[in-house]
Structure 1
Amino acid sequence: MRFCLTILGIALLASVAAARDIYVDNIRGDDHHIGTMPELGVNADGPVRSIAKALRVARKGDHIVLKNTGVAYRESITFQAAHHSGFPGSPFVLEGNGATLDGAALVPVDAWEVVGDDLYRFSPWRKAFNILFMDDKPLEKAAIRTKEDLAAMQPLEWALFDDHIYFKSEKNLGLGGYRLTYTGLTVGITLYDVRYLEIRDLIVQGFQLDGINAHDNAFEVGLKRITARGNGRSGVSIGGASRVDVTGALLGNNGVAQLRSEGYCQVSIKQSDLLDNTAPSIQREGGKVEVDGKPYQPQPAAEVQQASAEEEIETYMPVNYLEKVLSHLDVTTK
């Protein structure tokens, strides 16, 4: 018995020692490579171009290292099963290095139709949980309940109504001068049936549902120093029987909730900023949620109604993410 355990331990150590770094560069990389070199090397290998290719060649316990090129990675990725899992004390890692994973898609100019004075609309493929951006920043959303409310929209506001996205331009300017995008891809990162996984230092934005979705059976998962913003439903969604630690995160400007939980999941949130600027900081539909070691207590309904009334009166102020990140890092590194 002792001999078998020794052999098992040696095999485990050998597997951990064999873990590789797989490099991704979305400007100079090439998906014909296998990613073992951060730059093009003498053996003709170099970084891959897409995270999807890195995931295809990855093995258990590997580290995927993104180069922050200043250009967003525009893809939707999934971590699933043993080859995207790690070992106790040696997780599978996606190292973001501050890079951005962006799901926003450009709205074609010919997709818009004129429906009123300086008022335009188009029909997105997915009808719910959308956000409209201008120059990669969320526009202010108008509260539209009836068709008559559309006439009261203010310039540079948008609305989701009757399965269409509406946009009010500045007077007599048309659409030609605006760079408008919307939540195009569905989910930024999906986690399913993985164990011992860490995602670090990554910005996830512009996805129609969730920035990160731990769908089910995602155990011993760590989300460290993640920024999830401008996603149609939530920045982070955790469900099923998943067990996820969220540490040093900044979540804001998401559509329905900054973080949501469901099913029988367990979520531990530490040293994180979950802003309630556009939606509740936490929406618990199931599972257990702890914030800095204490069970999450939903805000009483009366206080929520009062806060909502105050938000309707106050002018919306966009989040200064740089300021929040700098202050946040100052706290988490002390």
Structure 2
Amino acid sequence: MRFFAFALALILLNSTARGAEIYVDNVRGDDRNRGNSLEYSEGVSGPIASLTKALRIARKGDRIIVTNTGVPYRESITLQGGNNSGWASTPLTIEGNGAVLDGRAPVPVDGWKHVQGDVYCFAPTYKTYQQLYLDDRPAVRAVVDAMEQLDTLKPLEWCLTNGMIFFRTEKDRGPGSYRLTFSARRTGITLYEVRNVKILNLTVQGFQLDGINVHSNCYDIELVGITSRGNGRSGVSVGGASRATITGSLLGDNGTVQLRGEGFSKTTVIDSTLLENTAPATFREDAKITIDGQVVSDAPAAETAQAADRLPQPNAPASPLRR
């Protein structure tokens, strides 16, 4: 009898540890559904529409399967606590299937104000760490420290000065004739006090702060096949006492640094590319970052401070992420 009870407990434990599959489709899904099936004909069992809803109903060790519809998922998501965690053998998983999580919004045409010549300005919701996109690619950013230097902007360049975005158009064109978007959401994915989480094959772009922020007390976090690009501050930020591994990923076109570490965090980077096209590859404050077995060494204090706020140079070479 004892053996039977023990065997039954093991079966129940393994069944629970496997978790459920939750299907997300932002085109044909519905957040009133349960997400048990990818088939739209399954009624309330069909896919849900948002990652936010998926994480709200997720339980420990579940697998969230994102449909790549070709339409970006325009939301910010947070993973927090036990229900958004997993086990060592069965992590809570977000399978992105190449989908895009996008933090941008169009600049309203009537939001632009004429400043001088071909220079116009726009007041974004968030006044720091911004990004301006032109035709779905990060526009070239210039270093302009004061209003008196706005005439140094070249056509199609922009800068962030005094909390305002300044953009210079081509001759005889207004800003409304371009497809311009800005960072309207703060962070793409925030992880807080979670364990055993795996995020796969997802592009995160256009957020005001970080594409992915492993905020605090997060352990056994795996980011695999991630592209985090064109975010205002960093592609990935790892803080507190968190532990994260980044594998087979690409970070580039981010505003101040590609990979950021702070606190007592430890980040291991394996077989990944950190482009230094717009900002330094790494910035660390007390944290430990290891890239392909090599520990990132300390930089002199002055250099480190400058690296944290460094902006791309006006004539920086084109990035593979901008093709």
Same fold (TM over 0.5): yes
Q: What root-mean-square deviation, in Å, do the aligned CA atoms of Structure 1 and Structure 2 show?
A: 2.5
Are 1:206 and 2:243 matched, yes or no?
A: no
AA aligned opposite 1:132: L
- The whole-number CA distance in structure 1 between the counterparts of 2:302 and 2:241 is 32
Spell out the pairing of 1:31-46 with structure 2 (5 A cutoff): 31-42=31-42, 44-46=44-46
Per the alignment, residue 183 of structure 1 pairs with 183
Give the alignment's TM-score, normalised by structure 1.
Answer: 0.89
- Between the aligned partners of 1:52 and 1:34, the Cα distance in structure 2 is 13
- 1:142-291 matches, within 5 Å, as 142-291=142-291
Q: How many residues align?
A: 317
- In 2 relative to 1, CA 322–62 (structure 1 residues): closer, same or farther, beyond 3 Å? farther
Query: 2:76 corresponds to which letter in structure 1?
Result: S
Distance 1:137 1:169 in 2: 16
Deviations 1:178-206 (A, max 9, x none): 01111110000000010110000000000
C-alpha distance in structure 1 between counterparts of 2:316 and 2:174, whole Å = 24
- What is the DSSP-based 3-state SS (H/G/I as helix, E as strand, rest coil) of the residue aligned with 2:218? strand
Runs of 4+ in 1 over 4 A off after TM superposition: 2-11, 298-304, 311-314
User: Any idea what SS the aligned residue of 2:193 has?
Assistant: strand
Q: 1:151-203, CA deviations, whole angstroms, 9 ceiling, x for partnerless residues?
A: 12110000111221000000011123201111110000000010110000000
Instruction: Tell me which amino acid in the other structure corresponds to 2:271.
Output: Q
Tell me: CA distance 1:5–1:196, structure 2 relative to 1, closer, same or farther (3 Å).
Answer: farther
**70-79 or 167-176, which deviates more:** 167-176
Distance 1:226 1:75 in 2: 17
Q: Which runs of 5+ in 1 are unaligned?
A: 324-334
Map Cα deviations across residues 276-295 of structure 1 (whole Å, 9 max, x no partner).
11111000012211111221
How far 1:7 sits from its partner (Å)? 7.6
- Whole-angstrom CA distance in 1 between matches of 2:313 and 2:101: 34
- Structure 1's 117 and 216: CA in aligned 2 closer, same or farther, altered over 3 A? same
The TM-score with structure 2 as length reference comes to 0.91
Q: Distance in 1 between matches of 2:122 and 2:221?
A: 39
String of CA shifts for 1:32-62, please: whole Å, max 9, x gaps.
1111111213454211011011111111110
Give the Å deviation of 1:103.
Answer: 0.2
Residue by residue over 1:6-48, the C-alpha shift from the partner in whole angstroms, topping out at 9 and shown as x without a partner, is 787555313113x111111111111111111112134542110
Quick check: 2:34–2:44 contact (8 Å CA) kept in 1?
no
Corresponding residue SS for 2:13: helix
Q: Which residue of 2 aligns with 1:14?
A: 15
Question: In 1, distance between residues paired with 2:153 and 2:314?
Answer: 17
